[in-house]
Structure formats: structure tokens, C-alpha cells
Amino acid sequence: MGPFEDAKPWSMKGIVGVRRFIDKVWKLSASQQASKPAQAAVPALASVNKRTHALVKKISEDILAFKFNTSIAAYMEYVNAATADAEKFSLADFEVFVKLLSPFAPHIAEELWELMGHRESISKEPWPTFDPKMIVEDRVQLVVQINGKVRDQIMVAIDINQAEATRVAVASEKVQKWLDGKQPKKIIYVKGKLLSIVV
């Protein structure tokens, strides 16, 4: 729907996408409850995954800034990720998600909350909090260059040193192809960003 302060023409077409999203949330709820036993209480937030912590931060900040359009985009990205990789998302994750969804879709959130076995209204639940440590990225994408040209991009620990980064890079099939058995003459390393090998 765009930024809160912008004028927006009403369009029925926009409702179709939102309806598809709500349907997806409903299906995700069914799969979560079928694969995980119901819990009497919501587990500690420490038991939910990194992406859920990031969503709590995003939605909390967006609501305060009236950035409702970016909140909706964040919900959709989260549901897509949870649908694609369900094993990484617990029932605890979904319960936190439903709490976050409740200001935007109160009726379906209340229904889902009850289906998860909760007797008290979701409106009486405290707003979720996030652990800042859980949303710090611990891995980065490192660009690997051979003779000045990008030949690969590898995921490495954010604090990886030059020796370890070089070891990981030269183990890559793409990099090995361009090294062609030659030993590096010079290595330039920009921590967490670039590894440039000259042969």
C-alpha cells in the first residue's frame, strides 16, 4: 500500500495478493500443528530461530515509524521462508509470528491463537521481544578474485582470517579451475569482503 503518508488510490487488485498471503499463513499453521505437538505455553524466545528475532525487530520498529507497507513485505518474506524450509521453524517461531501479525490481521490471528490451544485472547499477550545477539550476522559472502576478476563468492565466518579464507577459497572447484594448479604469488585480503589472488 506504500508509505503511510502517501496518498493511495483504492484498488481491489491489491486485495488479491493479501488474500493469497493470508491463505498461505493458514496453510502454514496447519502444517506447523500437524508436525509439532501442541504446547501449553509459548517457549522462551531463545528457542526461536534467528529469522524470527529479526522479524520481531523489524515489525516493532516499523510500527513505531508507521511503515506498515514494509511490515507487510517482511511478513510475506518470513512466511515464504518458513514454507520453503519448515524444519528450521518451530511452533514457538509460529506463535511469535502470530503475535506480530495480530495488529494487522486481528481476526485470523485470534483464530490461529485459539487453534494452537491458547484459552486467553492473543490481545492479552505481551508483545514479543528480540535478542540483539541473535540478529547479528555471523557469516558473510566473500568475493574471490583471480587475477583481478571475480571467480567465486563463498560464505565464510565474519571474523575469518586471511589464512583460513585462502584455504576455503582454494578448495572451491570454481577457484581451482582458474588457479589451474598454480601457486598464488600474491594474496590481498579485505576482511569479510574480498580475497584477491594473483597467480
Locate the domains of the chain by residue range.
13-135, 139-198
Whole-angstrom distance, CA of residue 100 vs CA of residue 59: 7
Tens place of pLDDT per residue across the chain (199 aa): 555 566 666 677 778 888 899 999 998 888 776 555 444 444 444 446 888 999 999 999 999 999 998 999 999 999 998 888 777 788 889 999 999 999 999 999 999 999 989 999 999 999 999 988 888 777 789 999 999 999 999 989 888 999 999 999 999 999 999 998 898 999 999 998 999 999 9
Task: With beta carbons less than 8 A apart as the criterion, state whether 156 and 139 touch.
Answer: yes
The CATH fold assigned to 13-135 is: Isoleucyl-tRNA Synthetase; Domain 1 (1.10.730)
For the chain, state the CA radius of gyration: 22
- Which of 26, 29, 30 has its CA nearest to residue 18? 26
The class of domain 139-198 in CATH terms is alpha beta
pTM exceeds 0.95, yes or no: no
For residue 63, count other CB atoms closer than 10 A to its CB: 15
